[in-house]
Structure 1
């Protein structure tokens, strides 16, 4: 009896051990992977449709393996099969696969047969990490920024106060010196009498030559300043309006390296560069619903940028919660920055595609601009100077083959400027 009892006890212990191991395994599923490698794989393969903590085209994937094990009893093998070929899992009649497929509007998941077991383990290790708690906004941005600002304010007040005190002491010193000198003069019997002096304006009026020179100088100076003022009419260099939705060229063209012509695509083929439609913005911002913590600055916080993305969603009629368009869109009243007079003709495609100019040639270092502004004066003289000094890029451009040969012989040069090819003719820009 004792042996039977011992066997039963051993069997029970073994059963409990197996149950414990299975239970424990559900909580350490992804611990055998590398989260750092998993992050790279996730960003490369998954981030277009999934976020860790937010539902997008597909479900949020934070602790997805643990959730599926607890709620659906599905293991890593099922996940691996789904990741590699979701269509095959659907065709097998899997109930949960069909439920997910229907819940997300019948959008088929892209198959990833190239991912190895190790790759999937790394991705699941990344998704199993706990969410990092962000520091309070006041501590991150407000505290540091306001502290430095207040320190700067205090130091400025101290400097101004010290200067005011210095001038007051100097005035008092001058008064004391004057009183002392007057007292010495009285003690020595020196009579201090005021002599009558001719006012300076009377002396100036009597000198006719000086009056003539002054009048000529004032006329010339007035003409110079009037001419300078009139020449600035219509010149908006430095114009930097506030847009209804804040758009940072520094983040998009600079940090993210997006080509200018990806958004301003019409610059390649038309007269104008065009304003990108909201659909162009939403191509990326369906997935990019917030900015990275590292993007924030003392002037522009993460909350500010996220709020501007929310404005974009409202204008495009996009429900981030439902991941669908509501149909309630609103036009964005962008403020135009660059504006040439109606009598001046300018064609973007002629400069960008035919001429091969970079956008920065006219618009300046756009990739560094947080708020877009007019960099160049866009005056006639500025355009003419560019035409005189810029060589036309005729290599591999059949349009210029014949004219290049003829004009090269005419001017005796190998390279031709825009001016030598007729770029200074009035009819090129005014007709």
Structure 2
């Protein structure tokens, strides 16, 4: 029997593929075993918090977290192990804590020594009384302050755990799958290459020529095109018209900064403040209600909250994969708060201003030309236009950017399409009545009220 040259090569490739497949399967089994053992170890090592401490955490966050932290002084003292510390250092029992939490001003007026010491130490600002808290509630809060805080997991460690422990997410990691697919693809390429060589040898052995025939010589396309004067003329006309169209479009975009998103000296997330925390836009941009400009909030507006909010703890489930990819971790936001403290001259340790402040050079995003007039108060307070109408979904923006083109045509279209609120608008009550009679329509637009006159925006 004649020996076929491709059998040995095919057998070698088959055996190699089988060995690689077995090794891949063994690695997956080992990975699953390691993940399961890791999960078992985590289950054994983790201790479930007591019910009192869990209930106390909720009560602490609801009533105490605005002025107190467990591990540092804020508006009030640190509360970690407060019950044991007061018992050891001051000889105060839990009954004293009950009385203090429920009626701190009364304790101060009664002349209690330690109550007046705390009162004088913290700028003579009496703690808010909580008479509605029961002794059981206070016991739960004290249990939470006595419980050791869980060790914070860094984002890198959390990400690594997500990648390596495939069993935790119920599947194989993407890197393993991509590696397996790349290996299979490489094997297929090798097999096709060997099969192609084998077929060539068989054909040559049987006297079959496998060389490609030379292509017939043809006239080059560019030469045939150049010889046709009509095609050349039509092509030149289309090129000139297309160039003029794109040149006009490019020139019309000069000064239009839609999508502009500069990097600010301090990262401010509208998504967290306006989205997650539901802070109203006009709380920070208060001048938009009464002034032409919306204004940049003064730093004391930021410090109204950040005197007590000194770190970002994020959502209980942790940062999303998108935030981790962009570097938006809890540590990142906390560092930005530190930049705010440095700018305003806030001493975290002593909870007071040092007087050493630095200007923050914010980068302007929305910038109308000097010859265009726009009044925020007229649109916000009088017309009742929502901020999102012009600025887009601000509550979803991690980095603030210019949402609308802010062009003349965009403003005119809004004036033509927007109905003026006639009922209950005292500012335009008289003119509304006159224009309603004149036009004989129930709904009036800003254009019908003179919103298209040149002098409205250019003067």
CA RMSD in angstroms comes to 3.7
In 1, are the aligned partners of 2:391 and 2:403 still within 8 Å (CA)? yes
Q: Match for residue 13 of structure 1?
A: none
Q: Match for residue 121 of structure 2?
A: 103
Distance 1:213 1:163 in 2: 48
In 2, are the aligned partners of 1:33 and 1:125 still within 8 Å (CA)? no
Specify which of 426, 433, 444 is matched with residue 398 of structure 1: 426
In 1, are the aligned partners of 2:66 and 2:309 still within 8 Å (CA)? no
Distance 2:70 2:88 in 1: 18
Distance 1:142 1:309 in 2: 27
In 1, are the aligned partners of 2:119 and 2:126 still within 8 Å (CA)? yes
Render the CA deviation track for 1:351-376: whole Å, top value 9, x for unaligned. Answer: 11111111111111111111111111
The aligned runs of 1:30-429 (5 Å cut-off) are: 34-141=52-159, 144=162, 197-294=218-315, 296-298=319-321, 299-429=327-457
Distance 1:311 1:48 in 2: 21
Per-residue deviation at 1:263? 0.7
In 1, are the aligned partners of 2:257 and 2:405 still within 8 Å (CA)? yes
Render the CA deviation track for 1:102-127: whole Å, top value 9, x for unaligned. Answer: 32232222233343434433433333
Aligned residues: 395
SS in 2 for 1:307: helix
Per-residue deviation at 1:77? 1.9
Higher mean alpha-carbon deviation, 217-226 vs 203-212, is at 203-212
Render the CA deviation track for 1:409-431: whole Å, top value 9, x for unaligned. Answer: 22222111111111111111111
Per-residue deviation at 1:59? 0.6
Distance 2:67 2:136 in 1: 22
Distance 2:117 2:434 in 1: 72
Distance 1:160 1:416 in 2: 65
SS in 2 for 1:395: coil
In 1, are the aligned partners of 2:258 and 2:402 still within 8 Å (CA)? yes
Distance 1:215 1:169 in 2: 51
In 2, are the aligned partners of 1:267 and 1:352 still within 8 Å (CA)? yes
Higher mean alpha-carbon deviation, 35-44 vs 328-337, is at 35-44
Distance 1:327 1:229 in 2: 50
Structure 2 unaligned segments of length 5 or more: list them: 1-48, 167-172, 200-207, 322-326
Distance 2:281 2:50 in 1: 43
Structure 2 CA distance for partners of 1:371 and 1:213, relative to 1, 3 Å: same
Per-residue deviation at 1:138? 2.6
Per-residue deviation at 1:145? 7.2
Distance 1:266 1:51 in 2: 34
Structure 2 CA distance for partners of 1:362 and 1:90, relative to 1, 3 Å: same
SS in 1 for 2:451: coil
Structure 1 unaligned segments of length 5 or more: list them: 1-30, 178-185
Distance 2:245 2:182 in 1: 37
Higher mean alpha-carbon deviation, 296-305 vs 358-367, is at 296-305
TM-score, L = length of structure 1: 0.80
Render the CA deviation track for 1:383-416: whole Å, top value 9, x for unaligned. Answer: 1111111111222111222222222222222111
Per-residue deviation at 1:64? 1.2
Distance 2:103 2:343 in 1: 37
Structure 2 CA distance for partners of 1:110 and 1:425, relative to 1, 3 Å: same
In 2, are the aligned partners of 1:33 and 1:121 still within 8 Å (CA)? no
Render the CA deviation track for 1:263-305: whole Å, top value 9, x for unaligned. Answer: 1111111111111111111110111111114263444111111
Render the CA deviation track for 1:153-185: whole Å, top value 9, x for unaligned. Answer: 8878998999999999999999xx9xxxxxxxx
In 2, are the aligned partners of 1:249 and 1:372 still within 8 Å (CA)? yes
Higher mean alpha-carbon deviation, 129-138 vs 258-267, is at 129-138
Per-residue deviation at 1:330? 0.8
Structure 2 CA distance for partners of 1:152 and 1:372, relative to 1, 3 Å: farther
